[in-house]
Amino acid sequence: MKLLFLSDLHLGSPIFESEAEIINLLSKDYDQIYIIGDLLDVWEDDLASVVSDNMSIINRIHTLDNVIIIKGNHDPSLVELEGVFPKKNVYYQHELGIGDKKCIVAHGDEFDDLIRKYSWLAKFSWPINWLFERVGINLKGFFRKLFYSVSAKRKKKYYNDLVLNMEEKFVDCYKDEYDYMIVGHTHFPKITKGNDFTYINSGDWIHNKSYVEFVDGEFKLTEL
């Protein structure tokens, strides 16, 4: 069994520059491909423009019969996603079996308090980020690194509460039922193994250009 997991392409973002890499990856021989949310970024632009500007990747997905799409918080509604990809299975989350192990695949934003409770704040700040990204400045990435650095030095929990605590909530919710938990959303690629679970984040294609493969019975994280 050979599986591919990738997430957070954010098609529509002005700093997405990975079209060739994505098409090449989608052209490889996989039994199943999972796109784990934030495929089409309608926070950046309207759906019609996102689709028309990214037809090369969208058409490539159309040609494949082994793609499962998970909805992310930057994606349009589930119905609209199904409209763009009418022949694909589109879910909020999906479970699968890998040998005798159970796996859940989800975007992960359901445990992000900033998005779930304060989505208005995230969307309010989006125009500022939109302007910076169009002149080549990754404002979100800068603040992520800044918060991490400051919190690590001062041993504060702000950064952990923003990201890592969200991961812990996801694991706590699903670890008793699933052996593997595969998500995106945070843009922090990682494979973390606990005593009775494995947490996998496939990262993103804006800042890390990362993906996860399951090959020869093992999960492998790759960053380009």
Helix %, strand %, coil % of the chain (to 5): 40, 25, 35
* Residue predicted with more confidence, 204 or 139: 204
Does the structure show a pLDDT above 70 at 181? yes
106 close to 71: Cβ distance less than 8 angstroms:
no
Domains of the chain (ranges plus CATH)?
3-223 (3.60.21.10)
Note the pLDDT of residue 186: 87
Q: Which residue has the higher pLDDT, 141 or 64?
A: 64
Q: What is the mean pLDDT of residues 149-169?
A: 62
Residue 159: the pLDDT is 47
205-215 residue pLDDT tens:
988 899 999 99
Residues 10-37: what's their mean pLDDT?
Answer: 95
Percentage of the chain lying above the pLDDT 70 cut = 78
* Per-residue pLDDT at 62 exceeds 60: yes
Distance CA 204, CA 168 (A): 20
| % of the chain exceeding 90 in pLDDT | 66
Q: Predicted confidence band at 157 (pLDDT cuts at 50, 70, 90)?
A: low
Interval 74-91: pLDDT, tens? 999 999 999 999 999 999
As a whole number, the mean pLDDT across the chain is 87
pLDDT at 44: 84
pLDDT band at 100 (very low <50, low <70, confident <90, very high): very high
Q: What is the DSSP letter of 37?
A: S
Tell me if 202 sits within 8 A of 210, measured CB to CB. Answer: yes
223, 189 Cβ separation under 8 angstroms: yes
| Spatial distance between the Cα atoms of 44 and 50, rounded to a whole number of angstroms | 8
- At 36 the pLDDT is 98
* Range 114-127 average pLDDT: 59
